[in-house]
Amino acid sequence: MTTFATISLEELVGEAALLTRLDRKYLLPAAELPELLGRMPSGVRMLEIGGQRSFAYRSVYFDTAGLDSYHAAAHGRRRRFKVRIRSYLDTGLDFVEVKTRGARGTTVKERIRYEGDGSRLGPEGVEYAQSVLADAGIPADGLDFHPVMATYYRRTTLYVPATGSRVTVDSDLAWQLPDGSSTRMPDSVVVETKSARAASDVDRLLWSLGHRPCRISKYATGLAALRPDLPANKWHGVLRRHFTS
């Protein structure tokens, strides 16, 4: 892998927390990742914590009995949301995270620390999720969130100082339902740009290499792969080309 100067977590949060941002996701064959990294803009730095530059993540997604979060994504509703417990497996940190849509298509992520085994949000997590959703104009009173699916992957994070943006590269992606059913995406990586403006230098680099943003949601696309009974029209191409049982 291309050698980059490093940046600490504290520096990254200070320079580019980007909890409100424009996100673009790209699916690349894993074999094409070295070319992308080798052509990154000058000055790019890679997150390093405790000597590590690649980190294991787990996200447990919560939804209602009617899968309101999933269907909002599948049908492109403006007031869509995600509720999850994000676990940083290498450091043992866990957060309840709620993602909603902001103005002009931005993603707004809010979170609090979580103490528990990940099987339930707990009273504090439920209250927090309902409060964030209500503030975003999404009626949440009485919604009963339960764990629907877990995702696992490894993430590398890059900081692009010229634009104050971030780029994440997720590999070794796997999804699992509570009943143990699972699927993987072994030969592809998800590259996501997170910027405060419409397009970053890395977006333009990806475009020049022939890659375009694609429709993929770790939660919704993964659930569609594992639940063929659910509507998945917008993700058929991704499911056909990139997922394997």
pLDDT digits (tens, 9 = 90+) for 135-167: 999 987 778 899 999 999 999 999 998 888 899
Mean pLDDT of the chain: 89
DSSP 162: T
Which of 93-97, 132-136, 231-235 is predicted least confidently?
231-235
pTM of the model: 0.90
| Backbone φ, ψ for residue 42 (5° rounding) | -65, 150
Residue 196 or residue 28, greater confidence: 28
Cβ-defined contacts of 203-209 (< 8 Å, 24+): 203/24, 205/36, 205/39, 205/40, 205/41, 206/26, 206/36, 209/32, 209/35, 209/36, 209/39
Confidence of residue 3 (pLDDT cuts 50, 70, 90): confident
| Cα–Cα nearest to 244, from 226, 217, 231 | 226
**pLDDT 10s digits, 13-37:** 887 665 556 789 999 999 999 999 9
Handedness of CA 72, 152, 31, 166 (dihedral sign): positive
Average pLDDT for 52-73: 94
